[in-house]
């Protein structure tokens, strides 16, 4: 019941913040800012400045609209929706955000430079293919395959049925595979999208 305890803790912190307790709101920021930033970083095609700006803006909006948080969902679900809607608005108004491939990967520890180059190349191919998907397809893949959310949580975040999540994800993965195969060839992607 760890999730229900965290949900109740979110509700308590939000109630305290609604009553003017700035320390409680700071706790919510500490708890969710990195997670929200990482999700927005993917949605912004690796543009860390844009993701940072959207993260800050989401928390400002959340603070301004704190009275609207009713605790029916987790605080993260609520603030994610605020950030998501703003990111979609920005994407509609602007050209696609250019990616900085150096920000998109975690160099980690790799002993084999050839393997690291191959991994970076594949990562760039996948990131490019993600940008060719429509916003709905990209988002569902990011939520499931990059951020690791389960179907129920994605359904809650997007306010859709679990079955819809599964069907959208299936279609999005097929579209992504097709884009990658058209760009690099089926024989080069191996088991990447199995």
pLDDT at 127: 77
Domain residues of the chain, as ranges?
A: 2-93, 113-187
CB 37 within 8 Å of CB 79:
no
pLDDT tens figures, 138-192: 888 888 887 778 898 888 888 899 999 999 999 999 998 888 888 776 555 554 4
The domain defined by 113-187 carries CATH number 1.10.10.10: yes
C-alpha–C-alpha distance, residues 178 and 160, integer Å: 26
The domain defined by 2-93 carries CATH number 1.10.1740.10: yes
Check if 2-93 and 113-187 are the same fold.
Answer: no
C-alpha–C-alpha distance, residues 136 and 31, integer Å: 27
Given a cut of 70, the residues of the chain with pLDDT beneath it are: 1-4, 6-7, 94-120, 185-194
pTM: 0.61
List C-alpha distances in Å: 23 to 18, 34, 36, 65: 11, 18, 19, 17
Q: Each residue of 118-155: b (16+ CB within 10 Å) or e?
A: eebebeebbbbbbebbeeebbbbbbbbbebebebebbb
């Amino acid at each position: 019941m760890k999730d229900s305890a965290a949900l109740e803790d979110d509700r308590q912190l939000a109630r305290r913040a609604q009553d003017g307790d700035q320390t409680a709101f700071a706790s919510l920021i500490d708890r969710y800012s990195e997670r929200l930033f990482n999700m927005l970083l993917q949605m912004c095609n690796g543009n860390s400045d844009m993701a940072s700006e959207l993260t800050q803006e989401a928390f400002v909006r959340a603070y301004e609209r704190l009275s609207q948080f009713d605790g029916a969902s987790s605080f993260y679900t609520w603030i994610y929706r605020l950030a998501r809607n703003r990111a979609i608005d920005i994407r509609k108004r602007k050209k696609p955000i250019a990616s900085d491939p150096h920000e998109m990967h975690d160099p980690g520890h790799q002993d084999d430079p050839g393997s690291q180059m191959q991994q970076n190349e594949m990562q760039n191919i996948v990131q490019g293919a993600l940008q060719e998907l429509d916003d709905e397809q990209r988002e569902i893949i990011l939520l499931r395959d990059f951020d690791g959310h389960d179907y129920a949580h994605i359904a809650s975040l997007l306010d859709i049925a679990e079955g819809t999540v599964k069907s959208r994800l299936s279609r999005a993965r097929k579209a992504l595979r097709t884009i990658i195969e058209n760009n690099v060839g089926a024989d080069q992607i191996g088991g990447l999208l199995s």
